[in-house]
Amino acid sequence: MNSYKLICFFTLIFLFSIKLNAQDLDYKEEQLTHNSFDNRYASYNSEGNLIIFESNRDGNWQIYSMDVNGNHQKRLFNSKSNDRRPTWHPSKNIILFESDRSGRSKIYSYYLSSRVMSKIPIPLKGNKSFAQFAPNGTELVFNYKINDNNFNIYRISLKGKRLKSVIKNGHKNLQPHYSPRGDAIVYFSRKHTKDKGDEIYAYNIIIKEEARLTNSPQHSFSPNWSHNGR
């Protein structure tokens, strides 16, 4: 597992080094949102021509789309709820997001072309969050909150079938992401830090083996995979 190259955001120093490397490679950094509010969790669709993100510019958290140059920013839903953390289907213009429109945080899918929204029928009563599609687009992984210090990780089909517990240890285990091959997930956890620090782990869902990837006095969180998963 340690051979996997992960795109991980560890510290401000690490982020600064990434910025310098990007400049060395002649990548151009461009600010796409220009307001005094928070704009987060931006990602490209599979075609690379559309970006979704969350913003609190209208008071509550809502989901927006925009062109890759930052133009045509528009709010996708007209609700009074908090709609958060949108992520794309691997090959279609479908997004997953979480919403508290029914009182608790639940996972929804939304088809941009037909504007059809559906709640994923997950048979768990608590708050669900940080949903991500599997590479095959038929399954998702998500967080399930027990309390503020206890988050489990589950898998389920897009139709709400085959619910499976992946990580369950009585600690915070957050922001799972599938590997490009769909055989592993990466996430961060506090299970070995007495719930004080965040460390990054990878878990092979086929052979059910886990590897701790970071061991730092600083927080290591919000990991993701490289494009080829290596």
What does the pLDDT look like over 86-118, one tens digit per residue? 999 999 999 999 999 999 999 999 999 999 999
pLDDT band at residue 21 under the 50/70/90 scheme: low
**What is the number of domains present in the chain?**
2
Give the pLDDT of residue 177. 98
DSSP letters spanning 102-158: TSS-EEEEEETTTTEEEE---S--S-EEEEEE-TTSSEEEEEEEEETTEEEEEEEET
pLDDT of 14 over the 90 cut? no
Give the pLDDT of residue 28. 83
Same domain, 101 and 180: no
pLDDT band at residue 219 under the 50/70/90 scheme: very high
Residue 94 CB partners (closer than 8 Å, separation 6+)? 88, 109, 110, 111, 112, 137
Same domain, 137 and 109: no
Enclosing domain of residue 164: 129-229
Give the pLDDT of residue 16. 42
Within a domain: 16: no
Closest CA to 227 of 24, 6, 3: 6
| Cβ pair 45, 93 in contact under 8 A | yes
Give the pLDDT of residue 26. 66
Same domain, 186 and 208: yes
Same domain, 103 and 151: no
Q: Is the full-model pTM beyond 0.75?
A: yes
203 vs 129: CA distance, rounded Å: 19
**Total residue count of the chain as it appears in this document:** 230
The winner for highest mean pLDDT among 3-12, 101-110, 220-229 is 101-110
Same domain, 133 and 102: no
Which residue, chain included where needed, has tokens 């120093």?
Answer: 13
pLDDT of 1 over the 60 cut? no
